[in-house]
Amino acid sequence: MAVPTVLEIIDRTMIKSGLSSKLQHEPSCWGGALFSWPSDEDIVRYPCGHHLDLANTTQTKTHFARLRKGHDGR
């Protein structure tokens, strides 16, 4: 998580300096320490995330189904 955070700080600094942005600004991860649990759509849409409720069987099944799907190329 450190690398994306540092890149975001550099990008924001460039924008404030009048330079153009070099990063795509669509979020690539869901969640974080200050966010609520992700929706099933968030889990499927974004390649990474933080703060998954492993006690929630629906979210757990969605997460592992996504991993299996990506692993075997389908």
Can you give the pLDDT at residue 11?
78
- Looking at per-residue pLDDT, the higher value among 1 and 63 belongs to 63
Contact 50, 32 (CB under 8 A): yes
- Distance between CA atoms of residues 52 and 60, nearest Å: 8
Number of domains in the chain: 1
Does residue 71 sit in helix, strand or coil?
helix
Q: Is 4 within the bounds of a domain?
A: no
Can you give the pLDDT at residue 73?
47
Q: Is 7 within the bounds of a domain?
A: no
Q: Is 60 within the bounds of a domain?
A: yes
Q: Is 13 within the bounds of a domain?
A: no
Q: What would the pLDDT profile of 5-51 be if each residue is shown by its tens digit?
A: 887 788 778 777 777 766 655 567 777 777 788 889 988 888 788 88
- Distance between CA atoms of residues 53 and 37, nearest Å: 7
- Per the structure, the complete domain to which residue 32 belongs is given by 28-74
pTM of the predicted structure, to 2 decimals? 0.53
